[in-house]
Amino acid sequence: MRLVFFGPPGCGKGTYASRVGARLGIPQISTGDMFRSEAAANTELGKLAQLYMKDGKLVPDDVTISMLRERIQKDDCKKGFILDGFPRTIAQMHVLERITHIDLVINFSLDEEIIMEKALARRCCEKCGDIYNVADINRNGIHMPPLLPKKEGICDKCGSRVIQRKDDTYEIIKGRQDLYWKQSEPLLAYYKKKEMVKDVPVIGPPDVMVPMIIDVINKGIKE
Ligand code: ADP
Ligand code: ZN
């Protein structure tokens, strides 16, 4: 099963991808996490990516595409994968189409005001990228309680430090939103024309969303 999780930055797709992937037994492939761990390991690729990431800009297509291409050829991708944060440009989408077949695109939507509030409250494991959130949102039928690690500041999954990402400031988050609407959202028109898209409005915490998403995937695959 090869899936793309799509949606504005901060809509929660990384969290859903990690949990849905675990439930379906397929890896979550997050280009953002890959760039961050390269940067943490201070590799040439990481240093290059960091030049763009620190300002919320996209890493150049050739770099991103070759990293992704290598990743999806690994053994753990034989049963499928969930792409999280890729493709983000028309060029990335066309390359993806040439190198593999995508079954479904899950398109998440969430009001920008809530995204901003949540994004500023986002915390992230510096090693494995696991995501937590300190915001407590309850309005307009949307209920998102905080998502905290069991032990404050320590990742549940790997025991590393949970931090606020350097690129999670108001200006950079807003910039990433604008970039999404300009560069990434247009990909949806193309995927919609091919009837690959399932829309999923974000209305609650992961515990509510994950079973909903799995249901949408199971139905979408059968169609
Ligand atoms: P967010 O969803 O909050 O934007 P990500 O973790 O998906 O965060 O991405 C963080 C950064 O990594 C992006 O701002 C961008 O610099 C880089 N990045 C991730 N995926 C891509 C991609 N597909 N193409 C180009 N740059 C990317
Ligand atoms: Zn961790």
Which domain CATH number covers 151?
Answer: 3.40.50.300
DSSP string, 148-204: --SBTTB-TTT--BEE--TT-SHHHHHHHHHHIIIIITHHHHHHHHTT-EEEEE--S
176 is catalytic: yes
Whether residue 221 is contained in a domain is answered as: no
Model confidence band, residue 56 (pLDDT cutoffs 50, 70, 90): confident
Model confidence band, residue 85 (pLDDT cutoffs 50, 70, 90): very high
In the set 36, 118, 122, 123, the catalytic residue is: 122
Whether residue 138 is contained in a domain is answered as: yes
Whether residue 216 is contained in a domain is answered as: no
Residues lining ligand 1, CB < 6 A?
9-10, 31-32, 35, 52-53, 56-59, 64, 85-86, 88, 92, 176
139 is catalytic: no
Whether residue 214 is contained in a domain is answered as: no
Q: What confidence tens digit (pLDDT) does each residue in 25-55 have?
A: 999 999 999 999 999 999 999 999 999 998 8
Q: Give the chain's mean pLDDT.
A: 94
Whether residue 217 is contained in a domain is answered as: no
Whether residue 163 is contained in a domain is answered as: yes
Percentage above 70 pLDDT, the chain = 100
Closest C-alpha to 107, from 192, 203, 15, 30: 192
Whether residue 220 is contained in a domain is answered as: no
Number of domains in the chain: 1
In the set 36, 118, 123, 176, the catalytic residue is: 176
Whole-model pTM: value is 0.88
Q: Can you tell me the distance from the alpha carbon of 177 to that of 108, in angstroms, rounded to the nearest whole number?
A: 14
